[in-house]
Structure 1
Amino acid sequence: MDLFSTNKGNSLPPLAERLRPRSISEFIGQMHLLGENKPLRNMLDSKLIRSMILWGPPGSGKTTLAGIISNTSGYEFYAISAVSSGVKELKEIIDKANVSFKYYKNPIIVFIDEM
């Protein structure tokens, strides 16, 4: 094995994934939105999640926050990349969302990254 080869026998996820915050209490920053009695915290506490746009530079926690919102609310979570995914994949996710809500009243979160 050299410097640029991968260890295919390693089944551990990348370190960043293993250390990613999993709950609001582990998420650092954005206290103006996530602090007690703040807008996003109130949405999470009520489990009534509305549409939103998360904007910021790469690595600022947008995907992590979307995952935490999904875990906290119990909503199903779909993340796709606007760069590498096409319209077909997005339509499939929207169809799943419609079925999920129509038959099970279970909303989902669709996170479109890299827009």
Structure 2
Amino acid sequence: MFSTYSINDVAAYEEVDGTHQEFSYKLTSEQRVEWEIQSIIRLAHQEQEAHTQQQVMGAMKKREEEDLAELRYINPLPKSLTRMTPCHDEELRVLLDEIASMKESSDEYDDDL
């Protein structure tokens, strides 16, 4: 469940993060081991916090989607925005064809002038 870290992982992270301690070569071996352990613990905490934040954001997004779905169920789209019956579709198609033919005939008349 938990990731394992080596000193190389921590050193690479600290190099990117800018928290590398230059004085580590002056430490005794016991102090260096303690410092490395603390660095590993800090890195693990940061990773755990990032993971927790990712889970919280995912849960919030899921909750928002559920709330929107519930609102759609409670307040469905108005009839004016829903798909019309095929009969209405055919009537609209005929009207649009008439408008298009009228536009074409007026364009031809303009060309003749």
TM-score range with shorter-chain normalisation?
Answer: under 0.3
After TM superposition, the score normalised by the length of structure 2 is 0.25
After TM superposition, the score normalised by the length of structure 1 is 0.24
